[in-house]
Amino acid sequence: MGQLEHLLQNNRAWAQEVSVRDPGFFKRLASQKAPEYFWIGCSDSRVPANIITDLPPDELFVHRNVANMVQLADMNGLSAMQFAVDVLKVKHIIICGHYGCGGVKAVLLGERLGLVDNWLAQMHVIQDKYRAELESCHDERTRHDMLCELNVIEQVANTCRSTVVQSAWRHGQALAVHGWIYGLTDGRIRDLDVSQHGQEHLTDGDAQGKPKLSPTCAAFLTASEKDIVTRTTIRTSSPDKVWGQDYGT
Ligand code: CO
């Protein structure tokens, strides 16, 4: 018996159980119904797209990678997107991040994990872009949550900039791009309210340099504006002190 025999046994039991409960299930799946949704999510095993949306396998076309990123030089991700948009004609692209993402945490803590650091390099750019906002967070957990959200928002923007989505919109194809985030601790998906439905909506966010923040982020930042000012002051004065200690004696 192979080491993975238990998985094959699980599969046989599952297929049997489904066939008994719904005799037409596999025949329907095999008829290749085109899904309406293209899901871009994290590879994290705790965020299984079909399970958390409670959708059957034929209703979700899925691409997953570390930290749910949309990189415009990634042939794998772009090919999946192009197939979803041009061939399957999905109506919605959903970028779904999750709180507690290990990839996001690695960037925040400056961890060195190997090859994956190259994949996550783009997130360092996001971290730099929102440095003031992130540094306004007093605790590591909130900062982690915020970068998880900001990453999703930036990946929505990247998706909208892709030739795949731009071309679809130019040709009048009905296609919306959404940013969601999933909570590992409560199983709930939150809409970050950054949905884009066409080219005209993208230019607004770009003009300001930063996409619209989610309600969660925006609310937090309003509450902590005073703290941003305080921390900026501390940061400005701090290097002098260190400089004096290091070189003054
Ligand atoms: Co993750």
Residue 62 lies in a domain: yes
The pLDDT of residue 212 is 53
Could you tell me the CA-to-CA distances from 13 to 9, 19, 25, 58, 160 in Å, in that order? 6, 10, 15, 21, 42
Please tell me the distance between residue 44's alpha carbon and the centre of ligand 1 in angstroms.
Answer: 5
Please tell me the distance between residue 226's alpha carbon and the centre of ligand 1 in angstroms.
Answer: 31
Residue 2 pLDDT greater than 70, yes or no: yes
Residue 88 lies in a domain: yes
**Would you say how long the chain is, in residues?**
249
Residue 136 pLDDT greater than 80, yes or no: yes
The pLDDT of residue 217 is 53
Catalytic residues, by residue number, are: 42, 44, 46, 98, 101
And the tokens for 99?
């709180």
Residue 69 lies in a domain: yes
The pLDDT of residue 121 is 96
Identify residues whose C-beta is under 5 A from ligand 1, the ion: 42, 44, 101
Residue 153 lies in a domain: yes
Cβ atoms of residues 147 and 127 within 8 Å? yes
Could you tell me the CA-to-CA distances from 50 to 39, 61, 117, 188 in Å, in that order? 9, 9, 28, 14
Q: Taking every pair of C-alpha atoms in the chain, what is the biggest distance, in angstroms?
A: 82
Residues above pLDDT 70, as percent of the chain: 79
Please tell me the distance between residue 148's alpha carbon and the centre of ligand 1 in angstroms.
Answer: 9
Residue 181 lies in a domain: yes
Residue 20 lies in a domain: no
- 233 or 107: which carries more pLDDT confidence? 107
Q: What is the CATH number of the domain that holds 84?
A: 3.40.1050.10
Residue 16 lies in a domain: no
Residue 237 lies in a domain: no
pLDDT digit string (tens) for 192-226?
999 999 866 554 444 444 555 554 554 444 444 43
In this structure, is the dihedral angle defined by the CA atoms of residues 153, 159, 161 and 167, taken in order, positive or negative? negative
Please tell me the distance between residue 245's alpha carbon and the centre of ligand 1 in angstroms.
Answer: 40
Q: What is the 3-state secondary structure (H, E, C) of 87-115?
A: HCCCCEEEEEEECCCHHHHHHHHCCCCCC
Give the CA count within 13 Å in the CB-facing half-sphere of 130: 26
pLDDT digit string (tens) for 37-94?
999 999 999 999 999 999 999 999 999 999 999 999 999 999 999 999 999 999 999 9
Q: Which structural domain, as residue segments, surrounds residue 141?
A: 32-218
The pLDDT of residue 236 is 25
Rounded to whole angstroms, the Cα distance separating 47 from 95 reads 12
Please tell me the distance between residue 105's alpha carbon and the centre of ligand 1 in angstroms.
Answer: 9
The pLDDT of residue 199 is 67
pTM above 0.85, yes or no: no
- Number of domains within the chain: 1
